[in-house]
């Protein structure tokens, strides 16, 4: 796991539930940026990520199901961080104690309402609190990577008629590490209907689907409703010392990876949103025409890789088959 960050999930599946929440924790704070490309985003506290805003550090990002209702999960994260004294310090001279903290917790949602069978079953503050507890526990194991697939905010995810999910990828970019925590829930497919291969499998490292498997994939992709409500959301993580302008640029370029993995993308029914968090744990400032370009390239690459990982790790639920169940020769990543 990239130094300065940890990730925790809360998953609700069964008895009318198919949703969840994921928390990306930056316990010591991280510089943030954001770029929104979809036509229907659901977000909270994103104005604070502007390069012109006052607040410098972000303490967590919440990725969650539940459509706009799910933004309530951030309340539980804020409360839990505040109890631990993690947040932006503010004076309260007329109160006891005379200082307080306000955790800075931006959030973004996917649409998964009713996919478990009960529309009213959606994330709330309790989901955020439990996902935060998992992230705090994961913070004690800096080498551990988060679970992927149909977990956390990816529990109810669907991608073009197939199951989506949560994916994570990480790689080296010069002296830095760059990662992507992503929820694949796009209205467009992540698979080429002609070949049955994921768009992100550009090197054809996965086994080629047989004709019957391609037919099953095509059937699943044809069942996308005429009014699909989706969204892919992600947080790019790096240990580079970025300022807010550089973090914003990183979030912008990271969308290139999403555009490689999902086609079409950034539709009006999507709310595609990518955050960037930089912990500055590596003391090597990226120059504009050298190391920073290497970092930007890696940001797009890890988003593409996380999309593929989410698709392959997902499990079948309801009427939405998982790609790995239609093409069993594909090795599903460890959950």
DSSP result, 273-311: EEEEEE---S--PPPTTTHHHHHHHHHHHHHHHHHHHHH
Tens place of pLDDT per residue across the chain (335 aa):
999 999 999 999 999 999 999 999 999 999 999 999 988 899 999 999 998 888 889 999 999 999 999 999 999 999 999 999 999 999 999 999 888 999 999 999 999 999 999 999 999 999 999 999 999 999 887 677 899 999 999 999 999 999 999 999 999 999 999 999 999 999 899 999 999 999 999 999 999 999 999 999 999 999 877 667 788 999 999 999 999 999 999 999 999 999 999 998 998 888 899 999 999 999 887 776 689 999 999 999 999 999 999 999 999 999 999 999 999 999 777 66
Contact indicator for 58, 32 with CB cutoff of 8 Å: yes
Residue 261 placed within a domain: yes
Q: Which value, to the nearest 10 degrees, does the dihedral of the CA atoms of residues 160, 155, 302, 213 take?
A: -40
Q: Which value, to the nearest 10 degrees, does the dihedral of the CA atoms of residues 54, 181, 242, 239 take?
A: 130
CB atoms inside a 10 Å sphere around CB 193 = 16
Residue 334 placed within a domain: no
* Two structure tokens written together for 233: 């959301």
- Which of 215, 171, 221 lies closest to 199 in space, CA to CA? 221
Please tell me the pTM assigned to this model: 0.96
Residue 241 placed within a domain: yes
Residue 36 placed within a domain: yes
Taking CA atoms, 89 is separated from 27, 100, 184, 278, 314, in Å, by: 14, 6, 35, 20, 40
Tell me, what's the pLDDT at 249? 97
Q: Phi then psi for 264, rounded to 5 degrees?
A: -75, 165
Tell me, what's the pLDDT at 217? 97
Residue 279 placed within a domain: yes
Rg value, the chain, Cα: 19
Residues with Cβ within 8 Å of residue 102, at least 6 apart in sequence:
78, 82, 87, 88, 90
Residues with Cβ within 8 Å of residue 43, at least 6 apart in sequence:
36, 71, 106, 107, 108, 109, 271, 273
* Two structure tokens written together for 29: 């704070």
- Between CA 312 and CA 52 the distance in angstroms is 39
Residue 160 placed within a domain: yes
CATH code of residue 314: 3.60.70.12
Domains held by the chain: number: 1
Residue 1 placed within a domain: no
- Which of 152, 170, 252, 159 lies closest to 198 in space, CA to CA? 159
Residue 333 placed within a domain: no
Q: Domain of residue 223: give its range.
A: 6-326
Tell me, what's the pLDDT at 270? 86
Collapsed DSSP state (helix, strand, coil) of residue 33: strand
């Amino acid at each position: 796991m990239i130094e300065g960050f940890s990730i925790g999930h809360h998953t609700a599946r069964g008895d009318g539930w198919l949703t969840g929440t994921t928390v990306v924790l930056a316990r010591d704070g991280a510089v943030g940026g954001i770029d929104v490309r979809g036509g229907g985003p659901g977000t909270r506290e994103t104005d604070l990520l502007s390069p012109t805003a006052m607040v410098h550090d972000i303490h967590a990002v919440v990725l969650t199901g539940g459509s706009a209702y799910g933004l309530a999960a951030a309340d539980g994260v804020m409360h839990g961080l505040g109890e631990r004294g993690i947040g932006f310090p503010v004076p309260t001279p007329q109160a006891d104690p005379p200082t307080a903290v306000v955790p800075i917790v931006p959030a973004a949602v996917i649409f998964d309402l009713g996919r478990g069978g009960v529309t009213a079953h959606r994330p709330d503050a309790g989901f955020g609190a439990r996902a935060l507890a998992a992230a705090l526990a994961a913070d004690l194991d800096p080498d551990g990577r988060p679970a992927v697939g149909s977990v956390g905010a990816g529990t109810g995810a669907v991608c073009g008629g197939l199951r989506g999910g949560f994916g994570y990828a990480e790689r080296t970019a010069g002296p830095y590490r760059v990662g992507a925590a992503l929820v694949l829930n796009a209205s467009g497919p992540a698979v080429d209907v002609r070949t049955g291969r994921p768009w992100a499998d550009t090197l054809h490292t996965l086994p080629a689907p047989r004709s019957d498997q391609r037919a099953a994939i095509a059937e699943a992709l044809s069942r996308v409703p005429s009014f699909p409500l989706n969204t892919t959301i992600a947080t790019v993580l790096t240990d580079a010392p970025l300022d807010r302008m550089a973090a914003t640029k990183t979030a912008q370029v990271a969308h290139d990876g999403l555009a490689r993995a999902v086609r079409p993308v950034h539709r009006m029914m999507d709310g595609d949103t990518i955050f960037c968090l930089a912990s500055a744990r590596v003391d090597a400032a990226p120059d504009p025409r050298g190391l920073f370009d290497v970092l930007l390239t890696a940001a797009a690459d890890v988003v593409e890789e996380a999309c593929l990982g989410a698709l392959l790790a997902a499990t079948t639920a309801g009427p939405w088959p998982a790609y790995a169940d239609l093409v069993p020769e594909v090795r599903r990543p460890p959950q």
